[in-house]
Structure 1
């Protein structure tokens, strides 16, 4: 497996397991995240801050499942996407789904240096 295949798999597997320390290991120390989420643009700089952002979004849940995900290369960029189903007290009663699409640049070691992300927001799960 090449580095460009290893890092996306590491990132998505870590997210699926809510292992935010492992997720951070897929990031360059100076990684930059720009995310368009309801209610607006959010930015995080540095692996620790990006990790904290993903922990806020996907941690502290009563139930969590990564129902679908994928990664592919588009020229020099990575396209990562995932859909999660979760329950969390902060969201209210019931289950919610959220999907995020991300495009990422990587450094020489394959770790993510920059990620630009678009989020659907948490939507009530109709199942």
Structure 2
């Protein structure tokens, strides 16, 4: 079994490269992926749904900058945090730069 921290670092590396095919290889079949977005909180529990949503948010960005990222193991669970700046805005094209943060 891979070390959780190593897996998390590899997942974030693939995410920042927007390599969605590679990202999916790091997700367990019973993944629990949670996100808090302006409309509310969401949870996906299968790798294909996670990748579909992440790619819909980040794939079309013409400019994509990593401002910060963190990986840690907490009580046997993986915590990933990241902060990106991208444009165009994934939900409101034409609005300039947008910061996306996941704690």
Shared fold (TM-score, shorter chain, > 0.5): yes
Figure out how many residues of one structure are paired with residues of the other and give that number.
100
Q: Which whole-Å CA distance do the structure 2 matches of 1:31 and 1:93 have between them?
A: 33
RMSD of aligned residue pairs (Cα, Å):
1.6
Contact 2:84–2:101 under 8 Å retained in 1: yes
Cα 1:75–1:43 change in 2 (3 A) is closer
- SS, match of residue 31 in structure 1: coil
Q: Which whole-Å CA distance do the structure 1 matches of 2:35 and 2:5 have between them?
A: 23
TM-score scaled to structure 1, two decimals? 0.70
The structure with more strand, counted as a fraction of residues: 1
Question: Which ranges in structure 2 are unaligned for 5 or more consecutive residues?
Answer: none
Cross-structure match for 1:61: 61
Quick one: higher RCO (CA 8 Å, sep 6+), 1 or 2? 1
Report the Cα offset of residue 47 of structure 1.
0.7
Q: Which whole-Å CA distance do the structure 2 matches of 1:63 and 1:9 have between them?
A: 22
Cross-structure match for 1:84: 84
Report the Cα offset of residue 93 of structure 1.
2.8
Contact 2:32–2:45 under 8 Å retained in 1: yes
Question: Which ranges in structure 1 are unaligned for 5 or more consecutive residues?
Answer: 102-127
Cross-structure match for 1:5: 5
